[in-house]
Chains A and B, each alone.
Chain A
Amino acid sequence: MKSRLKNIAGLLALSLFINSCSSDDNGSAPADGTSGDVELFFDNGVAGDALMLGNSYTNSNGETLIFERFTYIVSNFVLIKEDGSEFTYPKNESYFIINEETGQFTVHLENVPAGDYKKIKFGIGVDQQRYLQGETAQQSFWDLAFANNMTWTWSTGYRFINCQGTFTVDPAHGGDTTSRGFMIHQGSNTATDNYREVVLNLPTTARVREGEMPNIHLKSDANVILDGDTKIELHHNLNGAGTAASIMAGENLITIANNTKKMFTVDHVHNGAGTHH
């Protein structure tokens, strides 16, 4: 019994020694079979400025927008190593909501195999395949999405992006200065699959170890939704009464799906045990 205790003490000392080595900034090979956590922080902005609800931002379409809501779904996270090998986060737990109104900016991934990751891949919204599998596959994600204004109820889908506020149009761009509401509800419907995936390089390796959590700091640019590769002018999308612009269907959703493939960039990666970003 005594000798067994001694062995355990020896193992403990050895493992402590190994652990102390792994906190070396130069890094070390991860121990096989171990895992750690990864945190992603989504920093919302508008064309390089910080996004603040209630502030106004003028885009290249000559329209000035005041955001009152900016919420989106990110999903299906994959971490990719330098050799191209991938770790796919369990799909049932891989749906998250980032919400500027409630201050929900992080995605926390648990039990990621220890390793050095060079790229991340994720989806914007809910993939059609998953959606068709119904609530079984989504667990209680519908409840969470409903609480965050991310469900449609007149049809049965998820809003991938919910961006609302008011806008005015520069008279030089053919508008008047009346403030009108705008509502952008990006999503799929039974005719169009608007789910898209993005793959982003990490400027620094994200080092996942037991007890060591990399924090991946992303920037999300709300401006690209309307002012990305293809422009969408709100004043060309007014309702019949001309009182507000709503973008919820049709060609605009396909445009937004493609524009938002450039919505995210990785700004930097923090390695270590801290939770700063």
Chain B
Amino acid sequence: MKKIVYFLSILSVLSCQDDNGEYIEIDQPLDFIIPANFPEPVQDISYNAPTQKGFELGRKLFYDGRLSRDGTVSCSFCHEQASAFTHHGHDFSHGVDNLEGLRNAPAVQNMAFQGEYFYDGASSSLEMLSIVPIHNPVEMDENLESIVLKLKQDPVYVKLFSQAFANKEVSSGNMLKALGQFMTMMVSANSRYDKYVRNEAGGTLSTQELQGRALFQTNCATCHATDLFTDNKFRNNGLPPNPNLNDLGRETVTGFAYDRYKFKVPSLRNVALTAPYMHDGRFGSLQSVLNFYASGVQNTQNLDPLLQQHPTLGIPLNQQEKEAIIAFLKTLTDEEFVSNPLFYFRT
């Protein structure tokens, strides 16, 4: 395994005892480990290198409803660990006052390996992206200044911020950094598939799964590329636009007509756990997704050329092949990640 250890400047919390003889906890840099079968991270982790206390603070914030206007909606509300940090069973993300968003909550995993976030790439910074759901009026409907005021009233937070950051401040910047550190460490790379490609114990795939893998490599892996299972690009996969939403996708951010109906290619890690599928959660099962690619692709504006290489649009697949691909996709489930107590803040 490639291993990067970031040596942080030694914080003032280094000593175990202060002048009054009281025990002081030590903040320590965390190892950010790049899985052997992963490409290099896209984000520069040294800008916001995770520490033990920063990570713990980020985790507490991730699970705290105070980040929303009325205290009801935390990040974890739409990003549940058991569903690989998606909103299981909900096509759209939910927010305060029981309002409903316009897109399906994407998985929070392997974030440092992505260059752009959200289905339309509205953010390119792991440290800044939390701004979007926090301010969205149909999600958390809050602002950073107001959250900081709430957190300053809580001695537990005051202590955690002072341990996690050199300037000891409860500030919007430190809050975003802590959330960024937590998300940096959320690496999912221990599925049965990973063990198979790394020749580790427990890494066996059945004949059907291997057949599915071969089909996947031929038909899907150009977009769902590398062991991240995404090329991190924006593409139109030919979904008929929902006339009630008219979601323009990537064009919303860039303003370029050639980006219309393009959405970020999602990673397929833990995909068996993240139903419903697509940016608007229109498909309830992987079978429906593959049915769509086999016979539902429509020639909308900017349809990806890769889906126009066959006599019919999309990817020709028979039922036996679809089942094999689904069997393969299920090997991408990382039980360790979705049950790891490190990512679960127990109140």
Contact = CB atoms under 8 A, between A and B. Distances in A.
A and B physically associate: yes
Given A135-B128, A142-B173, A154-B136, A190 B255 contact: no
Interface stretch (B115-123, B291-299, B320-328): B115-123
Contacts of A157: 123
B122 A250 contact: no
Given A156-B131, A252-B255, A135 B122 contact: no
Contacts of B121: 190-191
Interface residues of B, number: 36
A187 to B, nearest CB: 11
A40 interface: no
A275 interface: no
A14 interface: no
Contacts, number: 103
B23 interface: no
A133 interface: yes
B44 interface: yes
Nearest to B127: A134
A140 to B, nearest CB: 6
A251 interface: yes
B135 A154 contact: yes
Nearest to B256: A250
A134 B253 contact: no
Interface in A159-196: 189-192
A133 B124 CA distance: 11
B37 interface: no
B144 A142 contact: yes
Contacts of A139: 173
A20 interface: no
A131 interface: yes
Contacts of A249: 252-256
Interface in B105-158: 116, 118, 121-129, 131-132, 134-136, 143-145
A134 B177 contact: yes
Contacts of B253: 155, 189-191, 249
A153 interface: yes
Interface in B167-216: 171-174, 176-177, 180
B48 interface: yes
B122 A156 contact: yes
A143 B172 contact: yes
A135 B256 contact: no
A147 B123 CA distance: 20
A190 B47 contact: no
Contacts of B177: 134-136
B255 A248 contact: yes
B41 to A, nearest CB: 13
Contacts of A136: 47-48, 127, 173, 177
A131 B125 contact: yes
Contact of B254 (A146, A154, A250): A250
A74 B307 CA distance: 45
Interface in B250-266: 250, 252-256, 259
B122 A132 contact: no
Contacts of B256: 191, 249-251
Given A134-B48, A140-B171, A154-B136, 12 more contacts: A131-B125, A132-B124, A134-B47, A134-B126, A135-B174, A142-B144, A143-B172, A146-B143, A151-B131, A156-B124, A190-B254, A191-B256
Interface of B: 44, 47-48, 116, 118, 121-129, 131-132, 134-136, 143-145, 171-174, 176-177, 180, 250, 252-256, 259
15 contacts: A134-B180, A135-B176, A137-B47, A140-B171, A142-B172, A143-B145, A143-B173, A146-B143, A153-B135, A153-B143, A156-B129, A190-B122, A190-B124, A191-B253, A251-B256
